[in-house]
Chains A and B, each alone.
Chain A
Amino acid sequence: MNLLQNFPIGQYVPGHSFIHRLDPRCKLLYVLIFAVLVFMANDGLSYAILALFTLLIMKGSSISYRYILRGLKPVWFLLALTFLLHVLMTKGGTVYLAWGWLTVEAEGVRQAVFISVRLALLALFSSLLTLTTSPLELADGLERLLHPLSRVGVPVHEIALMLTIALRFIPTLLDETDKIIKAQASRGIDFETGGLWKRLRNLVAIVVPLFVSAFRRAEELALAMEARGYRGGEGRTKLRQLRFTWRDLLAFGIALILFAVIGWVRR
């Protein structure tokens, strides 16, 4: 019944591993770099290298493999669907199986495997970002990376603040939802049976208290921020300054090597 436990998006796991201690900007850029690498790769060997690299990062984050793989739950369906579509739709090469107009051909299998691996690697890699970076750091990093855009009038600080607040309150609201569902279940709501109308009515009993509490929290937060003198991003200084260290340098070095290797290996 507990939503938070089953919520699949990679929730931050505090820690002190090498990956945890990288600068959030470095990690954000790395997700981009990795995406480019994944799209450069086009044969078994280059995918194997990238998979190995991902495995290494997983190890370096000192989070259990099982927990990281749980984060793939929401994309399993997508992966399976992509795989199936490619197997059936892409034509070319030897015909392995033919069943009426449905055929499975060599090129289809190849494409299906590659595309699924691509998706899986990207999902894994980006979930590693959120697993090892606190929401606050993440938003901070993003704000700094996007800072140049504020010159052309993009409200970077506001976007980052919204992101921070959203990320910060997802667990809180899930917790709250869990509690409200339990409280209404104690008042005899039966979520399993009944017609559509009754189920909709039941949903009201959850959504209304949830909204009320979300608005209350929002109001309290706004008040607390004002009470502490928040006046927007202008002239604001930070308690924790982001600083690149030798770790980030090493990470970027490794990225360069990866580019060279994948560029050389790919067909």
Chain B
Amino acid sequence: MPIIFEQVTHIYGAGTPFEKEALSAVSFAIPDEAFVGIIGQTGSGKSTLVQHLNGLLKPTRGRIQVGDWQIEPSSRLPAEFRSNVGLVFQYPEHQLFEETVAKDVAFGPRNLGLSEEAALLRAKEALETVGLSYDELKDRSPFHLSGGQMRRVALAGVLAMQSKVLVLDEPTAGLDPAGRKEILEAIYRIHRERKLTTFLVTHSMEEASRYADFLLVMAEGKVVLQGTPAEVFAEEELLRHHALAVPQTVELIQQINASLPGEQQIPVTLFREEELQDYLLHRLRQTRAVIIPE
């Protein structure tokens, strides 16, 4: 679903001493089926932004378009609107509540009006997508799982709703590196298979550069930079200014380039780890005699 933000401002606690402008005139347009990375420091407004996508928060000023839906400050949204957008919150394991894992994951589909069997089928599918065994876990209490397992169950609970837009607010925070990668790969796979429009909030440039085809860089409630990863990483100065760094791959390329003559420069668009690896190996093989001065 294409998504458009027009001058969206959100103010928390308007009219109180605790007033806080968390989003200031944010505008961007996301094409259908894009994978969008949202990066920015703590408190830059990322979570506030993504909660506008399924109408949990309404703009104080401005306009949002999600597919055919319009969200304006005074809009009243029907509950069915939320089923368009699956939102996984920061620390989603805190929302588990059912007696069994299967029931918990099936909760969303049940709310969409599916029958018990259909909902459980979706639960099974979703649990397997996130790398958990349905048969092993279905009758366990979600409160007796490890932190990582709880996270996956919660994630499955949203995936099971099979919405066309998927929004993930730091889904891998606090997980081990292998777990992070596994979860993100799973998300990327269904993003491709189901032709979803996906938003991934993350603190990690590596994660953002790996999966996203469009990046939104946020600072102090504003989108300070947006574009393809290549475009964004070219603005290293600006990123540094907002206490963000380019991914390690880009840094590596820059360091190598600094000591390479002009015609042998490595293109900075190779920020995906595998691509850079392939490229470097290819070049080494091609010209055994490539000289990389110390």
Q: Do A and B come from one complex?
A: yes
A: residues with CB less than 8 A from B are 1-2, 4-5, 13, 63-64, 66-67, 70, 176, 179-180, 182-190, 192-193, 204-205, 208-209, 212-213
Chain A residues, CB < 8 A from B12: 2, 5
User: What residues on A are CB-neighbors of B89 within 8 Å?
Assistant: 179, 182-183, 186
For the complex of A and B, the 10 pairs showing the least CB-CB separation, nearest first, are: A188-B111, A208-B97, A183-B95, A190-B79, A187-B108, A186-B87, A5-B13, A13-B17, A183-B89, A182-B56
- A180 contacts B157, C-beta separation under 8 Å: no
The residue of chain B having its C-beta at the shortest distance from the C-beta of A182 within the complex is: B56
Is the beta-carbon distance between B56 and A1 smaller than 8 angstroms? yes
Cα A204 to Cα B107 in complex, Å, equals: 12
A187 with B107: CB separation less than 8 A: yes
Q: Is the CB of B111 within 8 A of A187?
A: yes
Q: Is B255 located at the chain interface by the 8 A CB criterion? A: no
Q: A180-B94, A204-B97, A205-B107 are in contact. Are A187 and B57 (CB under 8 A)?
A: no
Return 14 A-B CB contacts under 8 Å, by A number.
Answer: A2-B13, A5-B16, A66-B15, A180-B94, A183-B92, A183-B94, A184-B95, A186-B89, A188-B79, A188-B111, A190-B79, A190-B111, A212-B143, A213-B94
Query: Apart from A4-B13, A187-B158, what are 13 other A-B pairs with CB-CB below 8 Å?
Result: A5-B12, A67-B15, A70-B16, A180-B94, A183-B87, A185-B56, A185-B82, A186-B56, A186-B158, A188-B83, A188-B107, A204-B97, A212-B143
Q: How many A-B residue pairs have CB under 8 A?
A: 75
B86-A186 in contact (CB<8A): yes
Q: How far is the CB of A125 from chain B (nearest CB, A)?
A: 19
Q: Find the A residue at minimum CB distance from B110.
A: A188
B interface residues, Cβ below 8 angstroms from A: 12-13, 15-18, 51, 54, 56-57, 79, 82-83, 85-87, 89, 92, 94-97, 107-108, 111-112, 143, 157-158, 161
Report Cα–Cα, A213/B161, bound state, in Å: 25
Q: Provide the bound-state CA to CA distance between A212 and B54, in Å.
A: 26
Smallest beta-carbon distance A180→chain B, Å: 6
In this complex, the member of B94, B108, B112, B143 whose beta carbon has the largest number of chain A beta carbons within 10 angstroms is: B94
**Consensus secondary structure, chain A interface:** helix
Q: Of B95, B111, B143, B158, which is in contact with the most chain A CB atoms at under 10 Å from its CB? A: B95
CA gap between A111 and B158 in the complex, in Å:
58
A180 and B94 CA atoms in complex are apart in Å by: 8
Across the interface, which residues of A come within 8 angstroms of B158, CB to CB? 186-187
Q: What's the Cα separation between A190 and B111 when bound, in Å?
A: 8
Residue from the set A4, A63, A187, A205 with the largest chain B CB neighbour count within 10 Å: A187
B161 contacts A209, CB within 8 Å?
no
Chain A residues near B161 (CB-CB < 8 A):
187-188
Complex-state Cα separation, A40 to B139, whole angstroms: 66
CB distance from A187 to the nearest CB of B (A): 4
Q: Which residues of B contact A2 (CB under 8 A)?
A: 12-13
- CB neighbours (8 Å) of B15 from chain A are 66-67
